[in-house]
């Protein structure tokens, strides 16, 4: 069990570490923190609370991971948790808060995510795998982010919103409703402009499946039908690829409503 812990770092007595952990100068690790194998904590970073960080994750200088939720109902001794998966990167001044008792007591982050400088994840959020938060991309409490979502810089997500798989949200956006999966979305308030065609191509989606997804978007956003009727129309008229099925399920489960649309997604490739 080889560690590289700088002599100026402060590591509390309840902290547990895996193999090959690196802790930089003046870093503080306190509370019941568990650091997996090959975790690196940079200079002046702070990891606290009931926090678990998965193998291979890197925390850059001045990040604050596992702090109390920014919620006035939270009490200092409330035992709430933060669970972080493997191979995540938290750049400078990123802040990730634990959950609240009222919200279920847990903030959870998956694997292989990149949080650029000043990104923030508030209490009781759920973040999937392979997401990118650009500089100052921020989540309010209780937000759900599915896999492979990209959040642009200086973008704020309202509490209880959901961001669907492979959605891409442009910089300086204000998201106050659910962003459907596979959408390209931007603005204040954010609007859906198209499917995330570039991202879908890079992910290997076929032209045929993209065509079916575009048709589903057209019905959902531009048919003039109520959401429930639009979903019925999609189920009737559009070939149900896995992506179309996920879009329908996501829209049907939306409580806040979906972001509006800026234009017909069939008007552009």
Between vectors from CA 19 to CA 18 and to CA 20, what angle results, nearest 5°? Answer: 125
Q: What are phi and psi of 201, to 5 degrees?
A: -65, -45
Please say whether the dihedral angle defined by the alpha carbons of residues 1, 107, 30 and 95, taken in this order, is positive or negative.
Answer: positive
Structure token digits, residue 150: 């990209």
Give the C-alpha separation, 99 to 61, whole Å. Answer: 23
On the question of a cis peptide bond just before residue 228, with omega within 30 degrees of 0, the verdict is no
Active site residue ranges: 123-124, 141
**3-state SS, residue 193:** strand
- DSSP lists the bridge partners of residue 47 as 29, 65
Give the C-alpha separation, 179 to 146, whole Å. Answer: 10
Structure token digits, residue 189: 């308030």
Residue matched to tokens 């019941």: 32
**List of long-range contacts for 22-31, beta carbons under 8 Å, 24+ apart:** 24/61, 31/66
Buried b (16+ CB within 10 A) or exposed e, 111-137: bbbbbbbbbbbbbbbbbbbebbbbbbb
Give the C-alpha separation, 122 to 96, whole Å. Answer: 6
Give the C-alpha separation, 179 to 156, whole Å. Answer: 13
């Amino acid at each position: 069990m080889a560690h590289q812990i700088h002599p100026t770092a402060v590591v509390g007595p309840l902290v547990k570490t895996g193999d090959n952990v690196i802790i930089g100068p003046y870093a503080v690790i306190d509370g019941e923190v568990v650091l997996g194998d090959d975790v690196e904590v940079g200079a002046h970073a702070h990891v606290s609370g009931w926090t678990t960080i998965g193998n291979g994750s890197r925390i850059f200088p001045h990040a604050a991971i596992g702090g109390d939720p920014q919620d006035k109902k939270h009490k200092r001794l409330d035992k709430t948790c933060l669970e972080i998966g493997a191979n995540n990167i938290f750049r400078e001044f990123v802040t990730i808060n634990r959950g609240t008792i009222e919200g279920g007591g847990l903030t959870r982050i998956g694997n292989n995510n990149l949080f650029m400088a000043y990104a923030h994840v508030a209490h009781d959020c759920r973040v999937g795998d392979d997401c990118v938060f650009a500089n100052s991309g921020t989540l309010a409490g209780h937000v759900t982010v599915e896999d492979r979502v990209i959040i642009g810089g200086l973008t704020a997500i309202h509490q209880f919103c959901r961001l669907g798989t492979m959605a891409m949200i442009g910089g300086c956006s204000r998201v106050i409703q659910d962003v459907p999966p596979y959408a390209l979305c931007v603005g204040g308030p954010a609007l859906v402009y198209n499917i995330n065609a570039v991202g879908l191509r890079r992910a290997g989606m076929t032209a045929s499946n993209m065509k079916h997804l575009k048709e589903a978007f057209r019905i959902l956003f531009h048919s003039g039908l109520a959401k429930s009727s639009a979903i019925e129309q999609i189920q009737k008229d559009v070939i149900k690829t896995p992506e179309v099925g996920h879009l329908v399920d996501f829209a049907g489960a939306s409580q806040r409503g979906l972001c509006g649309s800026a234009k017909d997604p069939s008007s552009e490739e």
